Structures are given as structure tokens and as C-alpha cells.
Amino acid sequence: MIVANWKMNGSKASIDDWINTVSKCIKPNPEVPCVFCPPSLYIDFSRKLIDDLSSEIKLGSQLVNAEDGTALTGGVNSSMLRDFSTDYVLIGHSEQRTFFNEQANQTFNKIQNSIDAGLSIIFCIGEPLDIQKENGTNDFLVTQLEILKGLNLDNVTIAYEPLWAIGTGLNAQTAYIEETHKFIKDYCETDLGVNEDISVVYGGSVKLENAEEILSSSCVDGLLIGGASLNPDNFSNIYNLS
Ligand code: PGA
């Protein structure tokens, strides 16, 4: 899976250009979904473009809030996402945890509601720099992963995004990514009872120059790309490496 996370970027014109260009340039591989996550306001607009072009692009939301029926001004729920045939949703992104103060119980509720609504979840985890420096990454990741206990993880992908690599231009080294992905996969199998190998994608300063090397690891099942996904040619070239 190769995911474009546009964060708070874009306009109708740039999204139109992106969807048209990417639809033309990618060589779709049914085993590698190409997922576009525009800002929420553009979900409907993107859906229509994707449908009009019969594009292979899958639609993802950067956001889901609480369960249906909650009084939440400004909120978006999983039924609304399904109403626009959204396939994927990002949950637990560090920017949601930091800037919207998302707590573990909220992350859990979002995952559970989204599973119930039939969405595929991209669950983002990752350690801050101080934890990485004191070799605490694995313990930290366990505190984030353990909320998945007891859930049906058939439609859950884990996105490993070290916080110090997001938007900094400093991607994690391939050996570190590989070791960490292996730890995540082992934890999911041993402690969460996932039988099939769970998909783990990497995010954090992925660009055309480093994508091939990162993807070359057998423990890396795809990429979650922020800044470098905004350019449709760049993004298509990265997708075509997968
Ligand atoms: P970046 O963002 O590629 O710009 O580092 C990744 C993300 O936050 O998902």
C-alpha cells in the first residue's frame, strides 16, 4: 500500500490535477492499493473525480472522530465516510495525538467504530526522539499497540512513523526501519494473535530518492507519504517502484 497523506494542503484545482495525473501515470498493481487522503472537505470532490475517471485510486480519510450520534461540533463519523465510499482512514497520526490531544481511549474508540463501519484502518504509531535516543522505541510502541488487543485486525494496517522523521527531511535508516517493523510484526503475532502477517508501512520523510531502498526491505509493506506526495509525478514514480 502506498498512501498519500495530504495533511492540510490542496485546493480543488490541485486535487483535480493530482487525481488526473496519478490515474494516468501509475501502473496499478492490485496487491498494492494506491490511497489518496485529502483534507476532509475534499472527500466528496475527490470521490467524484475518482469515479468519473474509473481510477484505481482508493480514497482515504485523514480523520474520523467519534461514534454516530455523539454531539460533536465539527465532527466526522465513520458512517459519513462510508456514505462517500471512503475505503481507508488514518487513525492515531502523531499530529492528531499532539495537536488535538488525542488520548489512547479515543484512538481505541475510533478504531473500533471504523472496524464496525467496514473501513480499512491505517493505524499510525511511532516514538519521539528522546525515547529513540534512550533505546526505548520497542517499549513505547507496545504502549501504542496494546490498545488493539481483542480487536479484529483483518482490515488494519500499521503505519510506523517515528516522530523525529515526520516532516524533518530525516528518514529513519533502512536497518532501523527493518528491525522495528520486525518487532511490530512479531508483537502482533505473539501478543495480539494475528495469524497472517500484518501489513506494516513506513512513514517519515519518504521521498523519491529514498523510497526504493526503504521498499527493498521484506519487512516494509508500503509507504505513508506526506510532503513528497503532493507532487503527482513524484508520487506516481514512488508508487511505480512498489
Ligand atoms: P512526511 O509526513 O512524509 O512529510 O514526513 C508523513 C506523515 O506525517 O504521514
**Is residue 139 one of the residues assigned to a domain?**
yes
**Confidence (pLDDT) at 127:** 98
**Do the beta carbons of residue 47 and residue 84 sit within 8 Å?**
yes
Report the residue among 35, 205, 208, 234 best suited for mutation to probe ligand 1: largest number of ligand atoms under 8 A from its CB.
205
Q: Which of 166, 177, 205, 223 most suits a substitution to test ligand 1, by most atoms within 8 Å of the C-beta?
A: 166
- For residue 191, report the phi and psi dihedrals to the nearest 5 degrees: -100, -25
- pLDDT tier, 67 (very low <50, low <70, confident <90, very high otherwise): confident
Give bridge partners of residue 58 from the DSSP assignment. Answer: 35
CA of 70 to the centre of ligand 1 (A): 30
Q: Mutation test of ligand 1: which of 225, 230, 234 has the most ligand atoms closer than 8 Å to its C-beta? A: 225
Residue 97 has pLDDT above 80, yes or no: yes
Ligand 1: which residue has its CA nearest to atom 7?
A: 226
Please report whether residue 130 resides in a domain: yes
Task: For residues 188 and 194, give the distance between their C-alpha atoms in angstroms, rounded to a whole number.
Answer: 6
Whose cell is 513506513? That residue is: 202
Which helix (DSSP H) or strand (DSSP E) does residue 46 occupy? helix 43-52
32 and 239 Cβ atoms separated by less than 8 Å:
yes
pLDDT of residue 219: 95
Active site residues: 93, 161
pLDDT score recorded for residue 236: 98
pLDDT for residue 66: 80
Domain that holds residue 46: 2-65+75-241
Q: How far is CA 184 from CA 37, 115, 144, 238, in A?
A: 24, 20, 11, 24
* Residues forming beta bridges with residue 3, ordered by sequence position: 35, 224
In a domain, 70, yes or no: no
- Give pLDDT tens digits for 84-94: 999 999 999 99
Query: What is the pLDDT at residue 227?
Result: 97
pLDDT in tens, 44-58: 999 999 999 999 999
146 Cα–ligand 1 center, Å = 24
Which pairing describes strands 34-37 and 2-5: parallel, antiparallel, or unpaired? Answer: parallel
What beta strand segments (E) does the chain contain?
2-5, 34-37, 58-61, 88-91, 120-125, 156-160, 200-203, 223-225
Atom of ligand 1 nearest to the CA of 203: 6
pLDDT of residue 70: 86
* Any domain includes 213: yes
For the chain, percent of residues with pLDDT exceeding 70? 100
Does residue 5 have a pLDDT over 90? yes
Count Cα atoms within 13 angstroms, Cβ side, for 141. Answer: 26
pLDDT at site 196: 77
Mean confidence (pLDDT) of the chain: 96
> Would you say 170 and 164 are in contact if contact means Cβ atoms under 8 Å apart?
yes
Chain centroid, CA 153 distance in Å = 15
Question: Which residues face 200 on adjacent strands?
Answer: 158
Taking the centre of ligand 1 as the mean of its atom positions, its distance from the CA of residue 9, in whole angstroms, is 12
End-to-end Cα, the chain, rounded Å: 8
Q: Does 241 have pLDDT greater than 90? A: yes
- Please indicate, yes or no, if residue 172 is contained in any of the structural domains: yes
Supply the CATH number for residue 143's domain: 3.20.20.70
189-229 pLDDT tens trace: 999 999 778 999 999 999 999 999 999 999 999 999 999 99
Q: What's the total number of domains in the chain?
A: 1
Pocket of ligand 1 (CB under 6 A): 5, 161, 166-167, 203-206, 224-228
